[in-house]
Chain A
Amino acid sequence: MRSSKVTHAIGMFALSLLLLVFLSPFLITILNTFKSTQEFVENPFSLPTQFNFDNYFKAIDEMSFATGFVNSLIITLVGVVIVVIFSAMTAYLFARFTWKINKVLFFVMTASMAIPFQVVMIPLVTIYGTVGFIDSRESLLFMYFGFGCSLAVFTFHGFIKGIPFALEEAASIDGSGRVRTFFQIILPLLKPVVSTITVLDVLWMWNDYLLPSLILQSPELRTLPLSTYNFFSSYSVDFTPLMAGLILTMLPVLVLYLFLQKYIIKGLAAGAVK
């Protein structure tokens, strides 16, 4: 008994050490947000001579943090809701109705995940620029929907297949329509996957640089990652305010993730019925 306690303690220690090494890039980052870029370049390990928050103020100021934050929030929230609901529905269609066309479409969607974004980039902006559907939130959201649905459909599909038919059959005997069955029976069972997709898509949309940089040209629409690049110059990077901006950008997602993680576990517990 005692020895297992010791092994346990050693195990915990090793795990903590591993985590510390794993996170050391961030710890060094946080330490250096309190220094000037020069102090940082000269010795990244030195303790800050005095704790100053200049970099944070600089970041908030130069990034127009408030505007960027609100923009990122709108895009991410709406984008994730759209992707999750519609992809779950499509995955349900593909998993439950094994028509030939569904099989083909599912295959095409899965395969499309292997397309490098750069392949469609120029055609995309050419097409949407020509029709004038660009430089608006709606346009960016539509593109997130299009690019995000394959992964979401793929993931939902796997889980829906594991749900026994019996539940839906009972519902359909009750005379419940397909749409109602989906929203009443299937969607609640998908909670764990919904959390997973939510986390992945939040991270993607919140941090994405390339797509918004192509679509959003008006400064009042800019998302946070676009503003972070104020600290880049042609051949170098103004590190310390960039890192402060990085920490500030990261915090909201971290909070959201902590919240959702709890939800994932809850959802998993509920989903364990299957």
Chain B
Amino acid sequence: MKKLRILALATCVAVILSSLAGCGKGSNSQNASAASGSDGGNVALTFFNTSAEVNTQFTDLFNAYHQSHPNVTITLIPTPIGGQQIQQFQSLLASKKPATMANLDIGTVYTYKDKFLDLTSEKNYYEGIAQAGAIDSAMLDNKLIGIPYTVQGYGLLYNTRVVNKALGTTFDPSTIKTRDDLASLFKKIQAAGVPPVMIHGANWSVGAHYLALSYALQSKNVDDTRKFVGDLEKGTADLSKNQIYNNVMDTFDIMKQYNYRKNDPLVGDYAKDASDFATGKCAFFFMGDWIWSQVGTLKGIDKDFGVMPIPFSNNASDYGNSQIPVSEPKLWAIDNSGSTPAQQAAAKDFIKWCLTSKEGQTALVEKMGFNLPYKNVTAKNTNPVAASTSKYIDAGKTINIGIITYLPSDYYTKTGDSMLKYLAGKIDRAGLNDELTSYWKSQTAH
């Protein structure tokens, strides 16, 4: 017994001593690593990743880069689900150990714009290698502070086999030009015994992806849509009397009426919804081409999927009826709050390598399933939904939803929650209008 006690005491003393020693050591090693960045020796970079589903693929890519660039080591900082990502990002900033590179939502990059390196001087280089307009839509307040690496489109995804079977003919999405067309399409599909459409009952889907269209469709120009939202905040614009908003919501009513999840609309289980759609349990799904990273590897799914614009009015030529919303939701930004110039230079090189080398492109496109907004991409994307969105992008049939970058960071939870209440029938249109109006008005306080 006595021995045990002595042992315990000895351990304690040892730990305290070592922790004191560690104190000194800790600060030394920090200086050492900072110094090594400029010593022309090894450069250590960190990469803060909010696309947690491709953590492993990123780690592999970093290792591959280290093979060909032995003096650069990149370490991944994985992030947990949802809201904790921002919490962790802020903690890193606060602890003065920011990640050298960060893969963040474009809105987050904008919020923390002061912390990131201004890459505007490289704009010409990137415009040279990127697809037309890709760099423009990543510009924040006319500055380039993050490099786009993925372009995503969304809309009404359809399962070709299921839709064809329900209609008895080959479905041509370009025939659905107006809201009435959509309603009769859903009606026909339902008559064939197939659930027509699925709405994913999560606030990010109905709030950020759907409702935000009512701001984006106000104008093709982001500055105009920003002004519209500003008017909402000032109370000089009235949502309930806005034609475009009402159009968007009228179409939502139709989708709501034919919703596959009508009995329990707010479950919002992404894995379940995605797998049900991919295995043909319903015909349409309001979602985007990112779905492939969830379902692509499942067994027993259908092969052929496409995306279709959502008609918001009965005038076929209205903006939005034949276009799909496309965005560059995430950017790679380089830290400018605690990184050394050597680290920043190495980070810039790495990003260029990713987007232009065969190895980098293959990893991003084939292994991670991203749609690169760059020219000369040889890697082939196996994602059929992305292939479908690419067609709209190539034809210029896109809706500019750049506005969401400039919305307050809690807009999608707050307005998305109001949309969920509406989806579940807890509030009616007037109630929704009230909640949205009061949300926007509350923003003027800041």
Contact = CB atoms under 8 A, between A and B. Distances in A.
Contact of A234 (B23, B53, B76): B53
Given A81-B11, A209-B80, A230-B78, A126 B22 contact: no
Interface string A197-239: 0000000000001100110011100000010011011111101
B314 interface: no
Contacts of B90: 122
Interface residues of B, number: 53
Given A217-B77, A232-B80, A37 B271 contact: yes
Given A81-B11, A132-B27, A232 B88 contact: no
Interface stretch (B64-72, B94-102, B135-143, B168-176): B94-102
Contact of B8 (A62, A81, A137): A81
A264 B8 CA distance: 18
B299 interface: yes
A61 B366 CA distance: 22
A76 B53 CA distance: 29
A81 B10 CA distance: 11
A134 B272 CA distance: 40
Interface residues of A, number: 49
A159 interface: no
A125 B5 contact: no
B91 A85 contact: no
A38 interface: yes
A96 B327 CA distance: 67
Contacts of A239: 271
Nearest to B273: A236
A129 B12 contact: no
A138 B95 contact: no
A256 interface: no
A13 interface: no
A219 B46 CA distance: 11
Interface string B79-105: 111101001101110111100000000
A20 interface: no
Contact of B91 (A81, A82, A125, A133): A125
Given A129-B96, A138-B23, A217-B77, 10 more contacts: A38-B275, A38-B298, A82-B15, A121-B87, A134-B95, A210-B84, A229-B78, A233-B51, A234-B82, A236-B271
Interface of B: 1, 5, 8-9, 11-12, 15, 18-19, 22-23, 25-27, 30, 46, 50-53, 55-56, 75-82, 84, 87-88, 90-92, 94-97, 202, 204, 269-272, 274-275, 293-294, 298-300
